[in-house]
């Protein structure tokens, strides 16, 4: 259930959004402090880009196991019970993502029907807000991937393991892999 093209698209969009947000913000700072001029639309565009970055980044975080959480109790459980808890947690995450996907779709539909325009940009507000249902659809897909892997008995995680990452980075630094020349 691996979709390499979707992963590359997701990473590319996140990189593009981050780069665009950086360029717009940097341009605004230069315009304001060097030329004593301000782009009226820069803050609103940066806000929309940041929101898109967040909503797409949520599913990316699930894919790479970057979300943090408290799992001390689950790690203390026997493996069979911990797997059942992971399945239940994943099902609850799927339910959450489905509910918010449905609600965000209704929200964007209402804004579309009303026809509200953005404050400083000449676009309807539903266009940048469409990233909400897209982001939660991706999140639903990522949770479905985790559930699929768990049901097949593969090692799948909803959360990142900070201790494991810290130990890995520490061993990289002590072996000279993580240091700069």
pLDDT class for 162, splitting at 50, 70, 90?
low
- Mind listing the pLDDT tens digit for each residue in 82-128? 788 888 888 998 999 999 999 999 999 999 999 889 888 889 999 99
User: Which pLDDT belongs to residue 100?
Assistant: 96
Residue for token pair 């913000």: 25
Output the six-digit token pair for 69: 């959480």
User: Which pLDDT belongs to residue 161?
Assistant: 55
List alpha helices for the chain, DSSP H: 4-34, 42-64, 72-76, 79-114, 126-129, 131-151, 162-174
Average pLDDT, the chain: 83
pLDDT class for 172, splitting at 50, 70, 90?
low
What is the Cα 139 distance to its own chain's centre?
8
CA distance linking residue 54 with residue 17, whole number of Å: 10
Provide the 8-state DSSP code for 157. -
Q: Stretch 41-46: mean pLDDT, rounded? A: 90
Given a cut of 60, is residue 1 above it in pLDDT? no
* For the chain, percent of residues with pLDDT exceeding 90: 39
pLDDT class for 55, splitting at 50, 70, 90?
very high
């Amino acid at each position: 259930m691996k979709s390499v093209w979707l992963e590359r698209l997701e990473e590319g969009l996140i990189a593009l959004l981050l780069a665009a947000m950086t360029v717009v913000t940097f341009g605004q700072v230069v315009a304001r402090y060097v030329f004593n001029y301000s782009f009226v639309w820069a803050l609103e565009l940066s806000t929309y880009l940041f929101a898109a970055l967040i909503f797409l980044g949520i599913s990316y975080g699930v894919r790479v196991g970057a979300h943090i959480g408290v799992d001390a109790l689950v790690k203390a459980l026997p493996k069979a019970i911990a797997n059942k808890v992971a399945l239940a947690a994943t099902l609850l995450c799927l339910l959450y993502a489905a509910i918010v996907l449905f609600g965000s779709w209704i929200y964007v539909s209402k804004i579309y029907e009303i026809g509200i325009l953005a404050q400083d940009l000449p676009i309807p507000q539903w266009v940048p807000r469409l990233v909400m249902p897209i982001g939660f659809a991706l999140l639903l897909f990522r949770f479905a991937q985790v559930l699929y892997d768990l049901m097949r008995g593969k090692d799948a995680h909803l959360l990142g393991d900070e201790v494991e990452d810290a130990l890995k980075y520490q061993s990289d630094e002590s072996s000279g892999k993580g240091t700069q020349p």
